[in-house]
Chain A
Amino acid sequence: MTNTAQTIDPALYAAVTDAIRAEAKKVLEAGAAAAVVGWQAGRRQGTAMPAIITDPAKVAELIFSPACVNNLALYLSKAKKEIRARGRIAIVVKGCDLKALVGLMGENQLKREDLHVIGVVCAGVQRAGAAKDIPLSEETIAGKCRECTVHTPEGADVTVGTLPDLPHFTPVESEELSRLEAMTPAQRWSFWKEHFARCIRCYACRQVCPFCYCEQCLCDRNRPQAVETTPRPAGNMAWHIVRAMHLAGRCAGCAECERVCPMDIPLNLLNRKMAKELKELYGHEAGFEVKEKGPLAQYREDDDQSFIK
């Protein structure tokens, strides 16, 4: 059955909000979790932000809306160890966010038994810069949500919400990837050169990425320097190549890097291309099962070695 309306029924978000609050209250009161990581409304109408709730009396602050864009898996990574230090954590995840949690478990960053995972059925979130507080539509829905295959997270402790019928959305991400692949290598090089030239090295992409949890980033090293730290073309290109390679086979596609880039660099396009290559070469897809190592982080005797001349 297809949705003849052009927008997503906001009733899902209201129902999920109620269910999140009830579940959060339950786990906090029962002592099953020391804190709930979820989303709460921002001061500005139609905005939301990450929330860390420890008091059962405050669960009414938790919400779910199309503004709940953040991948909260960030708050369970090593970069945010003070949160995990509180004890067992309940975390609210969309399907795309859960893939990051699965990846972190595979990398021994998290233990499943230390988490209480509240999965939310998600029809989509809004794109960066979209008009706030209106039902999601072709104009306002994020690129990644148009072709989402994980509206309902699998493997959570509890999953809340029922997916409504969804309108058809233009698959802008596939179209973008096709355009990139249709380019000659020289065109592709200049495409990325132009985008990376805009980078101001604010590292918002790195800081929101659940997989960028290195305590010493190669790109911060200065004794000796590995990558030029100044925002100039050479260092920018090097930084973004390092980033893409380190995430290949690990990135689960939450697209947070692209959403937060203040310079609108299509960072997730690069991640998606890498993910596609790894699927074609190794049949590997990140975020669906807890694997210790991705294909670029292991050696096997039956690896294809024909490229060694």
Chain B
Amino acid sequence: MPKTITDQNLRLLIDALVAEGKRVVGPRAAGTMTLYAPLAKGEELNLGELPRRSAKETFFPLCETILTYERDKEGVRVTDVDPGTIPGTVLVAARPCDVAAAPVLDSVFSWDFKDEFFLERRRKTTIIGLACTRADDACFCTAVGLSPNDTKGSDLFLTPLTDGGYRCDAITEKGEALLATHASLFAEGDGTPAPLAEPSLGKLDLDRIKAWLDTHFEDPLWGEIAERCAGCGACAFLCPACHCFDIVDEGGETKGTRRKSWDACGFGKFTNHASGHNPRDVQPQRYRNRIMHKFKYYVDKFDQRLCTGCGRCIRACPVGIDIAEILSAIGTRDQEPGTGKD
């Protein structure tokens, strides 16, 4: 039997979770934009627009400390950051295009090397997804096989109702547990779901796109796109699925901090080797990597794609590069292997 929650009770739920000592993260007004940010109280929840940055930072912060070091006459002391100190978190009212990226990222962060920071945050987080009722012309979740009410990655899922409030569906045990612990805020029942968002881009043939990518590592297309690309990291940093990071030691000889922070394959120095050699020394190679990683390499390795169609890269690109348009074009291209020549 589904349950419902009023908008007021959703805010009370946030208050209750905060009172329990949980870190509650949700869309919050932040100056000229909305961001996923810690909420001090339910009133701060702002559902007016899609947050400018994705929800990935709930698990994969923009910057985090891994260890600190000190050196004196006694020697060097290294102090690891204990992932056990990561607080229990509830991510509330996250859009399906953001939430769907979380299980996709699990694959890479738990493959080979286990990224304990990412995985501990995932373990300790309950995700309350929210169906999407408004799309703009950059949204294309339906084109990459998701939908505005996709529950992938959510523990509890909210569907806006025409009369206000939300229907709540528990998707996982974590979601069931949240419903059970705060039962008084939910009511038994159903309701009429509000009309869902309708992204305008038609469904992409992702298998056909993959087949073309399989045989077109060398193709003039990469040069055509990259000629325009400015080589910044806006697309990658706003993307819910881009997950590359850099590790740097910052500080001095006597003390310092090792930090992990977001990186982007569009940057010129991204693949620069210590030797000075750079295997991707021109922008076409970098832009190719962006598309290949999302729609070929990750598919080969994990049978998943690193794109949920949120459209943030399209909205943010300083020079108007439109990944949905590129994918549409690739989907209609001749499947004959490329010659590697213009």
Contacts and interface: CB of A to CB of B under 8 A. Distances in A.
Interface of A: 42-45, 47-52, 70, 74, 79-80, 82-83, 198, 200-204, 206-208, 220, 222, 225, 228-232, 235, 256, 259-260, 262-264
Contacts, number: 102
B232 A48 contact: no
B228 A229 contact: no
Contacts of A260: 232, 234, 316, 318
A48 B320 contact: yes
Contacts of B248: 222, 225, 229-230
20 contacts: A43-B322, A44-B322, A48-B320, A49-B320, A50-B228, A51-B228, A52-B227, A70-B319, A82-B282, A202-B232, A202-B234, A204-B232, A206-B232, A207-B318, A220-B269, A230-B250, A231-B62, A235-B250, A262-B53, A264-B31
A45 B325 CA distance: 13
B117 to A, nearest CB: 15
- 6 residue pairs, one from A and one from B, having the closest CB atoms: A49-B320, A260-B318, A207-B232, A204-B232, A202-B233, A207-B230
B31 to A, nearest CB: 7
B261 interface: yes
Given A42-B325, A231-B63, A232-B63, 9 more contacts: A45-B137, A83-B227, A201-B233, A202-B233, A229-B248, A229-B250, A230-B250, A262-B52, A262-B53
B261 A208 contact: no
A200 B231 contact: no
B238 interface: yes
Contacts of A208: 230, 232, 318-319
Most A CB within 10 A of own CB, among B63, B234, B324, B325: B234
B267 A203 contact: yes
A207 B321 CA distance: 14
A44 B311 CA distance: 12
B262 A231 contact: yes
B227 A203 contact: no
Contact of B230 (A74, A83, A262): A74
A243 B5 CA distance: 49
B32 interface: yes
Contact of A50 (B246, B261, B314, B319): B319
A220 B325 CA distance: 32
A264 B267 CA distance: 21
Interface in B214-258: 227-228, 230-234, 236-238, 246, 248, 250
Given A79-B231, A228-B250, A264-B31, A42 B318 contact: no
B22 interface: no
Given A43-B325, A200-B262, A263-B52, A50 B237 contact: no
Interface residues of B, number: 38
A38 B155 CA distance: 48
Contacts of A200: 53, 62, 237, 262
A264 B31 CA distance: 9
Interface of B: 31-33, 52-53, 62-63, 137-138, 227-228, 230-234, 236-238, 246, 248, 250, 259, 261-262, 264, 267, 269, 282, 314, 316, 318-322, 324-325
A262 B234 contact: yes
A263 B236 CA distance: 14
Contacts of A203: 232-233, 267
A204 B318 contact: yes
B67 to A, nearest CB: 14
Given A74-B230, A207-B230, A230-B261, A202 B237 contact: yes
A230 B269 CA distance: 15
A235 B62 CA distance: 14
A49 B138 contact: no
Contact of A44 (B138, B232, B238): B138
A274 B38 CA distance: 36
Nearest to B233: A202
Contacts of B52: 262-263
